[in-house]
Amino acid sequence: MFKKLSPALIVASVLVLVLSSFMFSMVSAQDGTLDPNTPVSNVGGVLPMPEAATDMSVAAAFKGAGRLAPQSARLAGPNSVAAPIESAHPESVIGVDSRVQVTGTTTYPNRAIAYLYVTWANNATGSCTGWFNGPRTVVTAGHCVYNTDAGAAHGWAKSIRVYAGRNGVSSPYGYTTAHKLFSVTGWTGHAYTANDYGVIQTNAATGNTVGWFGYAWQASNTFSGYHTVRGYPGDKPSATMWTMSGPITGVTATRLWYNMDTFGGQSGSPLYKYLSGNGYTGYGIHTYGTSVSPNFGNSATRITQAVFNNFAAWKASPYP
């Protein structure tokens, strides 16, 4: 005959099972068995995987209202320029530097590109580039929101200022700050180059003013025509925008390669082209220089379907 289990014993058994499941999940995450595109945030930790947007491959661009900030808010202010954030694979000038300065930073889509002033946990600072893909979301490199290096600066950025359309000391739209940061476990847990991407949710809906880029993924490895990389390199006058266009020279499952010149500080820049019927559309997030193997030139994290799904979910993330 079987003994009747007491309610207390049943509850205790359930708790043990739940705790065991939780510990298994933690171990799995540490062992890297989570999908490397599993989203994670500085607010809330590991997040559920978003549903696959199988019926979508393109998100539309938006021009924005274009209204300038009040005159008093247009100066970038003191201590708002920082040395570029360098990844383990610094961006490269390949041969003759062919970048051209962008002086019309208040025209679209230039105003949807932002200079990022990043402060880490140890109060060290650095600069990157980002691009709006929604009213409150700015796409950038994973290494611009989460520092994977060991030491006092390790972890999520302490604060980020987002200067849309900045041009040296002039900040025509003022700046907004980060409310929430997103990346994926492949980057924050393992520093995989394939997963070096992130998004900043901003406190102000600046994208409604400056507009935003569309973004797209495709299964095909054929990327025809010229693409553009545009951002804020650290080897040029401080906080000025520079650009170069050219063809995609190599494609892998997670990266897009090109011989367009870049430099530290341009991490997070959009790799984009004009897509008929959709507008200026990002296909990648510039992250690395020529030291990444296989060496086809400088490179961007490719927007795959998994990246696209995360962008859509982060863009829709509630605020506040």
The tokens of 317 are what? 């993330």
Which of 31, 84, 9 is closest to 287 using CA atoms? 84
Helix ranges (H only) for 74-179 are none
DSSP, res 26: H
The tokens of 277 are what? 């019927």
Residue 89 annotated among the catalytic residues of the structure: no
Which residue matches tokens 């989570």? 34
Choosing from 143, 286, 299, 317, which is the catalytic residue? 143
Residue 74 corresponds to which amino acid? R
Choosing from 127, 267, 269, 299, which is the catalytic residue? 267
Q: Which residues pair with 100 in a beta bridge?
A: 243
Which of 269, 204, 266, 209 is closest to 235 using CA atoms? 266
| Distance from C-alpha of 61 to C-alpha of 282, rounded to nearest angstrom | 9
Cα–Cα distances in angstroms (integers) from residue 303 to residues 88, 106, 135, 161, 282, in the given order:
21, 26, 20, 25, 8
Residue 267 annotated among the catalytic residues of the structure: yes
Catalytic residues: 143, 267
